[in-house]
Chains A and B, each alone.
Chain A
Amino acid sequence: MFDDLRDLYQEVILDHGRKPRNFRRLEDADRSARGDNPMCGDRLELFLKLAPDGRIADAAFQGRGCAISTASASLLTETVKGKTAAEAHALSDSFRELAMTGTCPHCQAALEEEMERLQPLSGVHEFPSRVKCATLAWHTLNAALDGAKEASSE
């Protein structure tokens, strides 16, 4: 009945949705922001710990959401570690293009490895009502990097 949905719900997504990585509060976070999707009730808080050189030393999140938004946030925390703010912004832009269009022809070659890890989420572009589930964490990342407290994917 649902076989063609395996493109959207790949094993990686289901796995990260069930067992999100870095699912915790960072008590000593340098940056944090809340992401809210009031239409569907998804809500998360993202924490970033910065190294002295400004790179992201640690990333974690807490919250509630669907498998797509939880998996996206989980993969985010894994892929932004070690990035500068500029690199994280670039990754966020690239991911959002991937989620909306399914591809990212202009993505920086330097981010190729990270984009490869995020590729399982590209199937969401065929589901317009679900794109915002995948992008919520990334909007929240931008807000945290920019010093804003709130982000919304509405």
Chain B
Amino acid sequence: MSFDVERVRRDFPILSQKIRGKDLVFLDSGASAQKPRAVIDAMVRCMEERYANVHRGAYFLSEAATEAYEAARLATARFLNAPDPRGIVFAKNSTEAINLVAHSWGRHMLRPGQAVLFSELEHHANIVPWHLLKEDKGVELRVVRVTDSGEIDLEDLAAKLEDGKVGLVAIAHMSNVLGTVAPAERIARMAHAAGAKVLFDGSQAAVHRRVDLQALDADFYVFTGHKLYGPTGIGVLAAKLEHLERMPPFLGGGDMISSVTLERSEWAPPPAKFEAGTPPIVEAVGLHAAIDYVTAIGMEAIEAHERHLVDRAMRRLTDIEGVTLLGRAQDRGGVFAMATDYAHAHDLATLLDRAGIAVRAGRHCAEPLHTRFGVEGGTVRASFGLYTTEAEVDYLAEALTKAREFFA
């Protein structure tokens, strides 16, 4: 183990509490992660000592808040190895960031006859905006198949890119259900060779491994703060500056204009063009603290820790009769879903909750994927964070075994 998980756990105040008299075993970080003291303190300090609106006030506190807000942008750019911090746009979450791309880039840069391509394993946030775009613009939608092992079918991708009509490839860098990590660099190369732009939904991936946007050559990359041990209310669109410069604004209002008369407005340059209104200032400070926190531990160490836990979980859970794990991807992060032959996902989640284990039951905003794997009724998903321990994985396996006896 590359880092001391017990020391890491002490950084997270919430983990020390009991749930119905039992230790909290939090295995739902894929939905939203818990927050370390460093993030909580940074946000409190911002509000207690350095808070004012940004970008407008010529006074000490506003200048200090502006500096903190822009420092968060620089930290985000460094975290992703983005080519230019002006390509970092703060949004509400990943969902809003993808909608921003669909609205401002998709509606204006895609031509009739072009297609948007996504995969069967996408989160609804990377499906529904394209449905809206289809209704609005008449673009074609293509869906890349997922193999039985839970991986993007690259042959199918190649076939669907072949006619050169795809304008955008939008793929989850890591599945929020299967944990599969997509071969993003290869997908980006394939997309670019076929004349398409590429968007990665990094909501899961950015939490579990190092992301290098320059190596990926991604046109658009999105992630959200609250899954990265940061606050809710802030997400990131990282885009190539050339795209942001050509795209019209998403929302109109203050802070995103260079001049306004009663008749017309002129847009500010990016990223301000896409940040109308008072931005998430305290949340940006919290995101910055979260990035500093995971960076200090090291994304490679986090990835190795979670990989070790997933391997252990796969071994332990495979031995339990009646438990089926979805997908067997080679490259995967700390997320997996399972179905059992003895209990519906919701009954199982209720049982696990009684043992202090927090998991998610249902279809995890990925209904098409559940249909693809023939588990329309839903699955139980466990997702790990950097604070997850071997003992918690073993406890989950024990609880699943006992749950089988309960329903027998």
Contact between chains at B378 and A41 (CB < 8 Å): yes
Instruction: Assess the A1–B347 pair: CB atoms within 8 A.
Output: no
CB of B15 within 8 Å of the partner chain: no
| A41-B370 in contact given A2-B403, A66-B345 (Cβ < 8 Å) | yes
Interface of B is mostly: helix
**Distance (whole angstroms) from the CB of B403 to the closest CB of chain A:** 7
User: Do B407 and A65 touch (CB < 8 A)?
Assistant: no
Q: How far is the CA of A1 from the CA of B343 in the complex (A)?
A: 16
Q: Are A68 and B363 in contact (CB under 8 A)?
A: no
Count B-side interface residues using an 8 Å CB cutoff: 23
Q: Given contacts A2-B355, A40-B362, are A64 and B347 in contact (CB under 8 A)?
A: no
The listed residue with most A CB atoms (<10 A of its CB), out of B376, B402, B407, is: B407
What's the Cα separation between A5 and B348 when bound, in Å?
A: 11
List B contacts of A67 (CB < 8 A): 343-344, 347, 407
Q: Which residues of A contact B402 (CB under 8 A)?
A: 1-2
A69 to B351, CA, bound (A): 16
Interface membership of A90, Cβ < 8 A: no
Q: Are A68 and B377 in contact (CB under 8 A)?
A: no
| Chain A: number of interface residues, binned into ranges | 20 to 34
A25: interface (CB < 8 Å): no
Q: Which of B344, B398, B406 has the most CB of A within 10 A?
A: B344
In Å, the complex CA distance between A30 and B390 comes to: 57
How many Å lie between the Cα of A65 and that of B347 in the bound state? 10
Q: Once bound together, how far apart are the Cα atoms of A2 and B349, in whole Å?
A: 12
A1-19: which residues lie under 8 A (CB-CB) from chain B?
Answer: 1-2, 4-5, 8-9, 14, 17
Q: Which residues of chain B are near A127, meaning CB under 8 Å? A: 350
A133 contacts B by Cβ under 8 Å: yes
Taking the complex as formed, is B68 at the interface, i.e. its CB lies under 8 A from any CB of chain A? Answer: no
Q: Does B346 contact A (CB under 8 A)?
A: yes
- Kindly provide the distance from the CB of B176 to the nearest chain A CB, expressed in whole angstroms: 16
Instruction: For B363, give the chain A residue with the smallest CB separation.
Output: A41
Chain B residues contacting A68 (CB-CB under 8 Å) are 346-347
Q: Which of B377, B378, B399 contacts A1 (CB 8 A)?
A: B399
A65 touching B406 in the complex, CB below 8 Å, given contacts A1-B355, A39-B362, A40-B362: no
**Contact (A40, B354) CB under 8 Å given A2-B406, A66-B345, A66-B346:** no
Q: A2-B355, A14-B407 are in contact. Are A40 and B350 (CB under 8 A)?
A: no
| A130 in contact with B346 (CB, 8 Å) | yes
Measured between beta carbons, the chain B residues less than 8 angstroms from A4 are: 354
Interface assignment of B361: CB less than 8 Å from any CB of chain A: yes
A8, A17, A40: the one within 8 Å of B378 (CB): A40
- Excluding A2-B403, A41-B370, A67-B407, 5 further A-B contacts by CB distance (< 8 Å) are A4-B354, A5-B406, A9-B407, A39-B362, A41-B363
Chain A: residues with CB nearer than 8 A to chain B? 1-2, 4-5, 8-9, 14, 17, 39-42, 64-68, 127, 130, 133
